Amino acid sequence: MFNGSIVFVGAYAEGMQDNYSVASMRNGAQMYGVEIQANIVQALLEGETTLRVSPVLATIAQVAAVGALLLCCTGAKSGARWWRR
C-alpha cells in the first residue's frame, strides 16, 4: 500500500499545540509540524532548495556579514567601549 512512498505521522490538530507560524503563510495562518516536515522533504526531492542570487549581491552580503562579525569581535575585546573614542 505504501510501497515507494514517504509517510509522515504526526499531530494534525489544534489541541496538540504543534502549529507554527511560517513565512509563506498569509494572514497569520499557521502550519502543523508534520506539514512543515513534509514540505521540506518535497522541496528536497524536487531540488527546490536553493535560491540563485547575483554574484554582486552575494559579495555585498558576505562583506557585510564579515564586517559585522569583525565589529562585534573588536568591540568585545576592547570592553565594548570602541564607539566612545
Identify the helix (H) or strand (E) that includes residue 17: none
> Which residue, 47, 54, 17, 42, is CA-closest to 32?
17
- The candidate with the shortest Cα–Cα distance to 39, out of 17, 55, 24, 53, is 24
**pLDDT (0 to 100) of residue 85:** 53
pTM, two decimals, is 0.53
Instruction: Give residues with Cβ within 8 angstroms of 37, minimum separation 6.
Output: 8, 10
pLDDT above 70 (res 80): no
Render pLDDT for 28-72 as a digit per residue (tens, 0 to 9): 778 888 888 998 899 889 888 777 889 999 999 999 999 988 888
